[in-house]
Amino acid sequence: MTSAGLSRRRFLRNASLAGLGAIGSSSFLAACATSASNGPVKQAAGAVTVQSNLSSPEAKKAIEALAKAFGEKGGATATVNTVASETFRTQLPSYLTAANPPDTYTWYPGSLLSGYARKGLLLDIGDVWQTMDGYSAAFRALSGDGAGHQVFVPTSYYWWGFFYRKSNFAKWGVQPPTNWTEFLALCETLKGKGIAPIGLGAGGNTPWTASAWFDYLNIRINGAPFHRELLAGKQRFDDPRVKKVFDPWRQALPYFDPNGTAIAFQDATTVLLQGRTGMVLTGTFFADAAPKDALGDLDFFQFPILDPAVPVAEEGPTDGFFASARTPHVAEVKEWFSYVATAEAQELYIKNSSGTVLPTNPSAKDTGTPLVQKGRKMLADAKEITQFFNRDSSDALQPTADAALIRFIQKPNELDSILADWQTAAQKVWQS
Amino acid sequence: MAVLTAERPKTAARAPKRRRRVSPVLLAFVLVPLLVEGFWVFWPALQGFYLALTNWDGVSAPAFVGFGNFAEMFSDDIFKTAALDTVIWLVLFGGLSAAGGLALATLLQRERRGVGFYRAALFTPVVFSLVATSLIWQVIYQPDGVFNKVLGALGLESWQHSWLADPKTALYAVLVPALWRQVGYVMVLYLAGLKGIDPALYEAAKLDGATAWQQFRNVTWPQLRSVNSVVLSVIIIDSLRSFDVVWSMTKGGPYHSSELLSTYMYATAFQSLRLGYASALAVVIFVLAFGVIVTYLVRAFREDS
């Protein structure tokens, strides 16, 4: 519901813990893979169980406040089960195929969602959508299974951009750029001042942050429709059009923080706030890690336009809920969904969370800070909205991008073999 | 009543037989664990072997593909990297921890003042979870972490490095914390072995004028035979199942340069959701571990008898 980047970050951090003891023994794998029906599921009578992967303190607090408010309305009640994100993600198939599954789940729209929907595992909530007045066609399309059924309720979304500290830009005497040439000139100026212009936190357990660069360059050069087709397996990663994406990236590479692939995302945030890097391409979730006094000093600019002929698309990852088709509490689940779709519920959530997400309900108010207003306008002006690499493709495809993109950043001259390997790895994922 | 009296002679007639029957309590003690073991270990293991012959995404029904998964390994470059890294890991991790553990044990076996402190200090890493250990080492390896700072202070700036981010060094950088921990463990095994050697043997060797090396070569080493086979089994199994330290530090990256068979199996299963291929990898790991250990143990016991 809040930034999935945040929860992704959390699960990546916890991945090692989840992996503990998951060692080279066939019995382990089989035990895990075949025990689909004995997930720890608590069913309170009449209460909707909300299986949540929002384990960061702020998001957890927010969703619990939401469930509490729902219960106080009278009618159905909801209980939140917070599960570590990595566990949540790996257990999701087990939850959904269980005889007695949790009722609803926090998740995001994308290929995984439509995959489950096609297998008949998700509850059709078309009637909830009839109560959701004013929701944009884009959100409606995003929440469908591709076969005319609505299976998802979007509740919040956020934006990506180049974030920087206003005070640092003022100190260095630089302005946010409006096009690619100005962007490179800005990088050159910062480099001349001994600052690493572009921060990147693709080391440690967060190599996925590099995918933001690929996403943006691809939607700027080849456009959002091509990007979606590529990520859906309808185009190839060794296509000349994909290769073209790496030309501007190569121009920007000399300005990347040389430690960018060595430090994790959280450290990249610290380095940016300390003024050792100039800017970082990231989603708003990164503000959660910033100290409160630095929040007012943060600003962002849009990823520069590379080809004015390509309709402008922006990354606007959306979060929300879906429900299991096997839930015994259909009426209660729909009541919960109708509630979380209201302006009142979304405002309550935003008030309790870190406040950098945007509500999906058009009549709900955001926090109204200048930063949030600017982000909201950027997404509203965009001709197309993309999600993020793993959401437009799948979590299974993400590691193939991580391997390819980190290798490109470190060894840009091996591009041809990188793209060939990427295609091979991606094909295996698509075929399985 | 009538029934009871009627039955009495029968049971009485069976009484001599009953003495030979195993008591139900004893039978339960054998059967219950066997059932538990069968259900939780053997059955899932067999399922794993079956899954290795299928393609399965965890949701739909598994599709039988015969030995297709095993055939795929021959053309899978990541598998080759992972297999090679596992061999490197086996040799370095196994070899260095055995050699280091033995060296430390011989050094610390004699009771001297303060020797307990050193033994305890060297054993301490064993009690920490490897995940916690890796997190600490991750910080040490940071671009501006302790390791690079020390190198800088020694005037070795040119050696400073992003140790975990460079595909050339990542595997070895991960190996160090694993070794740091394993050496203490192996040391304790060898210490126990050394304690079991009869001091009279050393007295005799000394009377014969044996040097320290000759004492080690002709007394200590042959006496450590049984400990060696334990240590060898332990380090082979430990290196093949090394997972947590690599996963928490590099996840097998950057671009699969520190991938072991175990991390590749996990990533294939739970990141790519290719559970069939991952099961096939698990079977390979199982066969390797089982094969090596059984071959060695059979040989070792044959020589003993």
SS (H, E, C) chain A: CCCHHHHHHHHHHHHHHHHCCCCCCHHHHHHHHHCCCCCCCCCCCCEEEEEECCCCHHHHHHHHHHHHHHHHCCCCEEEEEECCHHHHHHHHHHHHHCCCCCCEEEECCCHHHHHHHHCCCECCCHHHHHHCCCCCHHHHHHCECCCCCECCEEEEECCEEEEEEHHHHHHHCCCCCCEHHHHHHHHHHHHHCCCEEEECCECCCCHHHHHHHHHHHHHHHCHHHHHHHHHCCCCCCCCHHHHHHHHHHHHHHHHECCCCCCCEHHHHHHHHHCCCEEEEEEEHHHHHHCCHHHHCCEEEECCCECCCCCCCEEECCEEEEEEECCCCCHHHHHHHHHHHCCHHHHHHHHHHCCCCCEECCCCCCCCCCHHHHHHHHHHHHCCEEECCHHHHCCCCCHHHHHHHHHHHHHCHHHHHHHHHHHHHHHHHHHHC
DSSP lists the bridge partners of residue A359 as: A156
> Pairing state of beta strands A196-199 and B63-64?
unpaired
Residues A24-31, mean pLDDT to the nearest whole number: 38
Shortest alpha-carbon distance between residue A424 and chain B (Å)? 10
For B283, which residue in chain A has the nearest alpha carbon?
A26
Residue B293, pLDDT > 90, answer no
Asked whether A44 and A79 are in contact (CB, 8 A), the reply is yes
pLDDT of A362: 83
Q: Which residues numbered 148-207 in A keep a CB inside 8 Å of some CB on B? A: 203-205, 207
Q: Is A266 on the interface with B (CB under 8 A)?
A: no
Tens-place pLDDT, residues A236-290? 999 999 999 999 999 999 999 988 888 888 888 888 988 899 999 998 887 766 7
Shortest alpha-carbon distance between residue B166 and chain A (Å)? 8
| Chain A residues lying within 8 Å of B51, measured CB to CB | 29-30, 33-34
Cβ separation A31–B60 shorter than 8 A: no
Q: Is A430 on the interface with B (CB under 8 A)?
A: no
Tens-place pLDDT, residues A40-57? 444 445 688 888 887 777
B40, B266, B286 member nearest A19 (Cβ):
B266
| Tokens (6 digits) for B227 | 């400990």
Cβ separation B59–A119 shorter than 8 A: yes
pLDDT of A137: 80
| Tokens (6 digits) for A96 | 């959904």
Q: Is B253 on the interface with A (CB under 8 A)?
A: yes
pLDDT of A161: 92
Tens-place pLDDT, residues A60-83? 888 888 888 888 887 788 888 888
Residue A36, pLDDT > 70, answer no
At B64, is the pLDDT very low, low, confident or very high (cuts 50, 70, 90)?
confident
Q: Is A23 on the interface with B (CB under 8 A)?
A: yes
Tens-place pLDDT, residues A328-374? 888 888 888 888 888 888 888 888 877 778 888 888 888 778 888 88
Q: Of A17-21, B210-214, B263-267, B296-300, give the range with the top mean pLDDT.
A: B263-267
DSSP lists the bridge partners of residue A280 as: A163, A199
| Tokens (6 digits) for B145 | 């972490």
Residues B255-273, mean pLDDT to the nearest whole number: 87
Mutate to test the interface with A, among B162, B174, B242, B274 (most CBs of A within 10 A): B162
pLDDT of A401: 92
Tens-place pLDDT, residues B156-165? 877 878 888 8
At A38, is the pLDDT very low, low, confident or very high (cuts 50, 70, 90)?
very low
Q: How far apart are CA A287 and CA B206, in angstroms?
A: 72
Can you give the pTM of this predicted structure?
A: 0.80
pLDDT of A6: 40
B44, B49, B262 member nearest A31 (Cβ):
B44
Q: Which residues numbered 13-42 in B keep a CB inside 8 Å of some CB on A? A: 40-41
Asked whether A191 and A313 are in contact (CB, 8 A), the reply is no
For B247, which residue in chain A has the nearest alpha carbon?
A16
pLDDT of A5: 40
Residue B147, pLDDT > 90, answer no
Alpha-carbon distances, residue A231 vs A403, B177, B289 (angstroms) = 16, 38, 39
Token look-up 């070569």 returns B217
Asked whether A353 and A155 are in contact (CB, 8 A), the reply is no
Q: How far apart are CA B99 and CA B233, in angstroms?
A: 15
| Chain A residues lying within 8 Å of B135, measured CB to CB | 16
Tens-place pLDDT, residues B148-206? 888 888 878 778 788 888 888 888 988 988 888 888 889 889 988 888 888 888 888 88
State the DSSP H helix or E strand holding residue B145, giving kind and residue range, or none if neither: none
pLDDT of A164: 92
Asked whether B162 and A259 are in contact (CB, 8 A), the reply is yes
ipTM above 0.85, yes or no: no
pLDDT of A45: 52
pLDDT of B10: 47
A24, A30, A403 member nearest B47 (Cβ):
A30
Tens-place pLDDT, residues B4-62? 444 444 444 445 555 567 788 888 888 999 999 888 888 888 888 888 888 887 777 78
Q: Which residues numbered 50-69 in B keep a CB inside 8 Å of some CB on A? A: 51-52, 55-60
Cβ separation A27–B41 shorter than 8 A: yes
Tens-place pLDDT, residues A301-310? 999 998 889 8
Tens-place pLDDT, residues A190-200? 999 888 999 99
Find all residues with CB under 8 Å of B168, minimum gap 6, and list them: B257
Find all residues with CB under 8 Å of B37, minimum gap 6, and list them: none
Cβ separation B143–A263 shorter than 8 A: yes
pLDDT of A277: 92
| Tokens (6 digits) for B290 | 């089982």
Shortest alpha-carbon distance between residue A316 and chain B (Å)? 24
A33, A94, A204 member nearest B51 (Cβ):
A33
Neighbours of B217 (CB within 10 A): 12
Handedness of CA B42, B47, B52, B56 (dihedral sign): negative
pLDDT of A177: 92
Q: Is A254 on the interface with B (CB under 8 A)?
A: no
Residues B65-86, mean pLDDT to the nearest whole number: 86
Residue B109, pLDDT > 90, answer no
Higher model confidence: residue A121 or residue B20?
A121
pLDDT of B304: 63
